[in-house]
Structure 1
Amino acid sequence: MFARAPSFWSAPGHFAATLLSPLGALVGAVTLHRMTKAGGAVPAVVICIGNPTVGGAGKTPTARALLKVLIARGARPFALLRGHGGREAGPLRVDPARHDAAAVGDEALLLAEVAPTIVARDRRAGAQLAVSSGASHIVMDDGFQNPSLLKDASLLVVDGSAGIGNGRVLPAGPLRAPLLPQVARADAVLVIGTGAAGAAVARAVAGTCPVLHGRIAPEDTRLAGARVLAFAGIGRPEKFFTSLREIGARVEIARAFPDHHPYAASEIAALLAQADASGVQAVTTTKDFARLTGPAFQALRPRIATLPVSLALDAPETFAALIETAEARAQARRA
């Protein structure tokens, strides 16, 4: 809906939000009504990683972490997502050797590094393909508000620094529907990172469902002490710049682009020229790097560093509890 989040989404009481709030009330009511529809079931355990707002919150790192836990438990999980930013409607199984971000989206490529991944705008059809391919568990990256597929458990992810913004529903604010009715349909809320906004969400939902905490942590410190030009086209680019500073990198130039920005080779060449002129290293996210594929980027990619990150839960055992809840429900509905 928006390439960048409007500034009034984070400003309670802003006149634009007030003006748009009647439309937001309508959008919220329609979304909540849609969420009450019965979804189609598949013979696999379905766990959804969603968020109550639009914008980046950390769903994909959370889905990757959950897939790894499932694999360690001996399961055969598949990832399932719409493939935002990709042209393929699916359902199709992602093959990183054949598919690029323009085809399936950058998030699909990141998930496919961990487990077999299905892209499908029709989530139920995608789940059926996963099951026919041998999936024991399906981890949905987004789709919480989409009722087409029956979910055995759902985890809502909230960014600790952004929370739910001004607390209003699209287009008046970032919420997809009113918060508490969404939370009532989830099994837990995961607040990623710290901040007053995330703490406020945790307090608001504490009586409705369990609240988990975690953070997005860099996987290495190779860029510690380096002077860098950092660029990112993700939901919240400033989080990437902060992560670089936290490992000791010196962010001399920071360039933010819209989420899922389709880079042109000329844009990347210009960024690299600026980095060279300033005597700094160009660096981006693994998600952005996944979009720099094809012959036009072949000579540019080796000159760009990345900062891999992963989800670190404060209480790692909570994922086991979520999985066991989902498995129990799946077993009960099959009985």
Structure 2
Amino acid sequence: MRAPRFWQGDANHPAARLLAPLGRAYGRAAGNRMDRPGARGECPVLCLGNFTLGGAGKTPSAIALAVLLRELGRTPAFLSRGYGGRLPGPVLVDPARHGWRDVGDEPLLLARHAPTVVARDRVAGARLCVAEGADVVVMDDGLQNPSLAKDLALAVVDAGVGVGNGLCVPAGPLRAPLARQWPHVGGLVLIGAGPAGAAVAAEAQAHGLPVHRARLVPEVAAVAGRRVLAFAGIGRPEKFFASLCEAGAEVAATRSFPDHHPYRDADLARLAAEADGLGAELATTEKDRVRLPEAFAARVRVLPVALHFQTPETLEILVSAALDDPDGRT
């Protein structure tokens, strides 16, 4: 989906005011659902979620967390709902056998870094993670899903947009009222910088929660000095376009698509023609790359990014405490 622009505006926008009653009803139901107790997993469960709909950087955050867990001597596996995929699971993702239409795009990226299970039933998915040898489960999304108890839940926030207008779907981007979500969170991962993110960080600190600041670092060698037509179907395409510029690419033009967009032949033909007309190469994200036909993807440059924490040692302390305290689960 493509988020309405008024979600990032004033809560007094006419559309936001009109939809506010529906948002309050949706938010109340979602908040009540979050309060339900979940089933205990056979091993610790760490969740990377976000307060809002749309991309915030959960997948690179989950990958960075898996790296940290390995440094702590643990064996992580990822658990994902597999948004956009047709398989209900639980199923172990095999990139040689599964495509994005089977398991979704994000699980294919996660599977490059650790065993990844797709399951709409999170409890059954966690059991399969353990059967595959995991001693800790990293949930990519699922903050608002109460079915599986979490030892630690981290909310990931894009500092460029924060929580938008602060209203619940469909009046705004929040999945549940922020006040109802804070009790289920053990810390905040704030990606990038900006006043919207600073406001959320201040609220987190007022709730006594740690704020772990991070930034997405692009792989400069992939695009430096290249003239590109950039396209992306992610939560915030403009963030990708900015990363290209940061990496030293000459961005001749940009094309934005809705998040998880299924690229059609007409889309690809139009992109190829525009790039040829500009004398530019095509460039996109890793997540978009897995949704492209292989023949077309071969001509597209990809900009990998990695999440770097400002003070990784503070996150290590928080994660270690969650792993060492099995009775302190949320």
Q: State the TM-score, normalized to the length of structure 1.
A: 0.95
Residue 330 of structure 1 is aligned with which of 308, 326, 330?
A: 326
Between stretches 202-211 and 120-129, larger displacement belongs to 202-211
Does the 8 A contact of 1:46 with 1:326 survive in 2? no
- Map of 2:118 onto structure 1: 119
Q: Give the partner amino acid of 2:313.
A: E
Q: What is the 5 A alignment of 1:246-285?
A: 246-285=246-285
Paired residues for 1:1-335 under 5 Å: 3-12=1-10, 13-208=12-207, 209-292=209-292, 297-330=293-326
Shift of 1:270: 2.6
Pick closer, same or farther for the CA change 1:298–1:331 going to 2, 3 Å.
same
Change (3 A) 1:197 1:332: closer
Q: Which amino acid aligns with 1:8?
A: F
> 1:332 deviation in Å?
6.1
- CA distance 1:298–1:35, change in 2 (3 Å): closer
Q: What whole-Å deviation, never above 9, does each CA across 1:279-327 have from its counterpart, x for those lacking one?
A: 10100000000112xxxx2322221000000111111113312321221
The Cα shift of 1:330 comes to 2.0
Distance in 1, matches of 2:112 and 2:298, equals 20
* C-alpha distance in 2 between matches for 1:291 and 1:322: 35
Verify the 8 A CA contact 1:93 1:119 in the aligned structure 2: yes
SS of alignment partner, residue 228 of structure 1: strand
**Structure 2 alignment gaps of length 5 or more:** none
Return 47-56 or 319-328, whichever deviates more. Answer: 319-328
Kept in 2, the 8 Å contact 1:75–1:136? The answer is yes
CA apart distance, 1:261: 0.3
Give, in angstroms, the shift of residue 219 of structure 1.
2.4
2-side partners of 1:332 and 1:187: how far apart? 11
Q: Give the partner amino acid of 1:194.
A: A
Letter in 1 for 2:274: Q
Structure 1 residue 145 displacement after superposition? 0.5
After TM superposition, give the deviation of residue 250 of structure 1 in Å.
1.3
SS in 2 for 1:87: coil
Q: Retained in 1: the 8 A contact 2:8–2:165?
A: yes
Q: Distance in 1 between matches of 2:218 and 2:326?
A: 35
Conserved in 1, the CA contact under 8 Å of 2:284 and 2:303?
yes
**Contact map agreement 2:80 2:117 (CA 8 A) in 1:** yes
Could you tell me how far apart the structure 2 residues matched to 1:328 and 1:222 are? 40
Distance (Å, rounded) in 2 between the aligned partners of 1:236 and 1:180:
25
Question: Could you list the runs of 5+ residues in structure 1 that have no partner in the other structure?
Answer: none
Aligned residues of 1:47 and 1:154 also touching (Cα < 8 A): yes
Say which is worse superposed, 146-155 or 181-190, in terms of deviation.
181-190
Moved more, 127-136 or 77-86: 127-136
The DSSP-based 3-state class of the residue aligned with 1:241 is helix
May I ask how many residue pairs the two structures share in their alignment? Answer: 327
Q: 8 Å contact 1:180–1:205 — kept in the other structure? A: no
Asked whether the equivalents of residues 66 and 319 of structure 1 are also in contact (C-alpha less than 8 Å), the reply is no
Between the aligned partners of 2:26 and 2:325, the Cα distance in structure 1 is 31
CA distance in 2, matches of 1:118, 1:85: 15
| Equivalent residues of 2:151, 2:328 under 8 A apart | no
Q: Which runs of 4+ in 1 moved over 3 A?
A: none
Q: What's the secondary structure of 2:156's corresponding residue? A: strand
TM-score using structure 2 length = 0.96
